Amino acid sequence: MPVRVSMSDDPFSEFVSPPANETIVQREARLRNEEDAKRVSDAIDEEINRQRAEQKRERCVKVLLLGQSESGKSTTLKNFQLMNSRKAFRADRAQWRTVIHLNIVRSFRLILEAMAEVQAATTSPTVSPRLKPVDAPDVPYDPEMPRLTPELLLLKMKLSPLLQIEDVLLRKLDPEGSSVFGGQHLTSLTNIPFPDRQKKGMKEIALSSRALGTKFSRLWSGEERKSTDVQDDGLEPDEPSQVLQACSEDMIRLWNDPIVRKLLEREKLRLEELPGFYLDSLDRVTELRYMPTDEDIVRARIKTLGVTEYRFTVKAVGNTISRDWRIYDVGGQRSCVRAAWVPFFDDMDAIIFLAPISCFDQVLEEDPSVNRLEDSVLLWKSIISNPLLAKTNIILFLNKCDILQRKLAAGIKLAKYIVSYGDRPNDFESTSTYLRRKFAQIHKDHSPQKRGFYSHFTSVVDIEATTKILLDVQEMVLRANLRDLLGDKDRGYL
């Protein structure tokens, strides 16, 4: 039987029904009041809607760069900066010169260390410990090691001042010696099986966004150089430049020495594939008044700690609309840093995820038990399946294709590290297509819902090719942002 509900059962009836015994005059007054109240309420609704539309219009385009450490996030950011704030990018050349000098010192430190190890390994065990070089590491005697000639030993000694300018360079970048930066020197390399490299505990140079913000302030804010700024301030020869110039010939001789190359090869120390490689341009980068080119700056390596925000404005739809952009570059190291990404997941228009596909034969610096490509795949899976990012457009950069090509040409087999690759051809076309398909499949299987997904093969150190890709990306993200802004009815012309 249906249940009858009387007016008195409704808790709101007392407030919505007219009072009993209402006179005609009272009724007219009440209706007038109600009309006035509705007018006010409609006006408030209209204002709220107007403000919402305004906020949406004012909301900037936001893009987040994600990927493991050394995947190329900051390098991609530099390409955005070069495209959108070229003058500010070039105004920071003095700081980049210091970073490049540090990168060069790092490469030589690795060579000099490898030489010290060879020296120790080729010193006969019958030699008295007192006759061993003081910097010789404790490694077992290996009669197969290439021998260092007296000329090489002399070069090694003559280049020791390089190691002494490291602290001067670090202080130039961070005079206050912030806690994150202080004491962090050069990296230990993970794809080199030197026995005690990990134990040395040397860290890669890294700058927090705070320190970066002060040193590269014009760059991150997208601010252009003012006419009152001194041209190329800081490019006057400083102490490190003088040392590098004085060592230049010896550095070139050491780097080109066939015995040194042989021992680097034997130790699988492929400096050319490591971040911040400038040894093929030593005569130029060690000039007293060396001024880094755009390409040099793009290749300079400094690890990101924390988050860097870069702002710029882009004109769109035939220069009729101006949109502010924010690009966020985060530190990609596994330990503790990745948890800091989550607050940035809300409200992003797009994520550019960088997967360095050349790293299939490398392990993580922070955890040498983990293969880098495997880490990239796991990270990709966790980003793709994150519900906070379910609607965010995803752009995948399968990066470091130039290094992948070089490795394959050198005979390094993908199948040795990715068993499922089987006996497919070990050429770039087959390997890159296979890896792209794997990443796309994970996207398909693990996305919570359908969204925009785009993928590109990239070498983000190649400015020309990357500019073309980033222009496409900018256009796509902007259109998606404007579609969201205009709503369904005005989407036609986008």
Ligand X SMILES: Nc1nc2c(ncn2[C@@H]2O[C@H](COP(=O)(O)OP(=O)(O)OP(=O)(O)O)[C@@H](O)[C@H]2O)c(=O)[nH]1
User: Could you tell me which residues are annotated as the binding site?
Assistant: 304, 329-333, 399-402
Q: What CA–CA distance (Å, rounded) separates 392 from 61?
A: 12
Interface size with ligand X, residues (CB under 6 A): 24
Residues in contact with ligand X, shown as a per-residue x/- string from 59 to 78 under the rule CB under 6 A: --------x-xxxxxxx---
When asked if residue 292 is in the footprint of ligand X (CB under 6 A), the reply is no
| Stretch of 26-34, 230-238, 301-309, 478-486 contacting Mg ion, by CB under 5 A | 301-309
Q: How far apart are CA 447 and CA 462, in angstroms?
A: 31
Stretch that binds ligand X, among 110-118, 123-131, 149-157, 453-461 (CB under 6 A): 453-461
Residues 275, 70: Cα–Cα separation, whole Å: 8
Between CA 295 and CA 401, with CA 94 as vertex, the angle to 5 degrees is 20
- Show the tokens assigned to 322: 């101006």
Binding span for ligand X by CB under 6 A among 246-254, 278-286, 313-321, 394-402: 394-402
Rounded to 5°, angle at Cα 227 from 226 and 232? 85
In the set 276, 372, 383, 398, which binds ligand X (CB under 6 A)? 276
Any contact of residue 250 with ligand X (CB under 6 A)?
no
Q: Which does 156 bind (CB under 5 to 8 A by kind): ligand X, Mg ion, none?
A: none
- Please give the DSSP secondary-structure letter assigned to residue 5: -
Could you say whether residue 85 binds Mg ion (CB under 5 A)?
no
**Secondary structure letter of residue 35 according to DSSP:** H
Q: Which residues are annotated as a binding site for Mg(2+)?
A: 304
Which among Mg ion, ligand X, none contacts residue 466 (Cβ within 5 to 8 A by kind)?
Answer: none
In this structure, are residues 65 and 241 in contact, taking their beta carbons and an 8 Å threshold?
A: no
**Roughly what angle, to the nearest 10 degrees, separates helices 401-409 and 428-446?**
130
Kindly state whether residue 431 participates in binding Mg ion, applying the rule CB under 5 A.
Answer: no
Q: Is 71 in the site for Mg ion (CB under 5 A)?
A: no
109 φ/ψ sector (left φ>0, alpha ψ -120 to 50, else beta) = alpha
Q: Please give the backbone phi and psi of residue 462, each rounded to the nearest 5 degrees, phi first.
A: -90, 100
CA proximity to 163, closest of 125, 95, 115: 115
DSSP 424: S
Stretch that binds Mg ion, among 27-35, 166-174, 300-308, 353-361 (CB under 5 A): 300-308
- Cα separation of 171 and 429, whole Å? 45
Nearest by Cα to 460 from 375, 398, 395: 398
- Using CB under 5 A, pick the residue from 74, 76, 208, 481 that binds Mg ion: 74
Q: Which is closer to ligand X, CB of 67 or CB of 292?
A: 67
461 binds, among ligand X, Mg ion, none (CB under 5 to 8 A by kind): ligand X
Instruction: Answer yes or no whether residue 331 interacts with ligand X by CB under 6 A.
Output: yes
Min CB(470)–ligand X separation in Å:
13
Residue 101 interacts with ligand X (CB under 6 A)? no
Nearer residue to ligand X within complex by CB, 275 or 292: 275
Kindly state the smallest distance separating residue 283's Cβ from Mg ion, in Å: 29
If the CB atoms of residues 240 and 331 are measured against ligand X, the closer one turns out to be: 331
The one segment of 259-267, 298-306, 372-380, 411-419 that binds ligand X by CB under 6 A: 298-306
- φ, ψ dihedrals at 486, nearest 5°: -80, -25
Q: Order across the sheet with 350-356: list the strands.
A: 307-316, 321-330, 61-66, 350-356, 393-399, 453-457
Q: In whole angstroms, how close is the CB of 226 to ligand X at the nearest point? A: 28
What tokens does 142 get? Answer: 């290996």
**Binder of ligand X out of 459, 477, 478, 481 (CB under 6 A):** 459
Q: What is the DSSP letter of 275?
A: S
Q: Does residue 85 interact with ligand X by CB under 6 A? A: no
Query: Under the criterion CB under 6 A, does residue 460 sit at the interface with ligand X?
Result: yes
Determine if 304 is a binding residue for Mg ion (CB under 5 A): yes
Contact characters 407-446, ligand X, x per CB under 6 A: ----------------------------------------
Stretch that binds Mg ion, among 2-10, 303-311, 320-328, 333-341 (CB under 5 A): 303-311
| Tokens 């980049």, residue located | 96
Among the residue ranges 173-181, 306-314, 446-454, 458-466, the one whose residues contact ligand X (CB under 6 A) = 458-466
- Cα separation, 108 vs 114, in Å, equals 10
Burial (CB count within 10 angstroms: exposed 0-12, middle 13-18, buried 19+), residue 169: buried
Q: Name the residue among 355, 446, 432 with its Cα closest to residue 395.
A: 355
**Residue 361 within binding range of ligand X, rule CB under 6 A:** no
Residues near ligand X, by CB under 6 A: 67, 69-75, 275-276, 299, 301, 303-304, 331-333, 399-400, 402-403, 459-461
Residues near Mg ion, by CB under 5 A: 73-74, 304
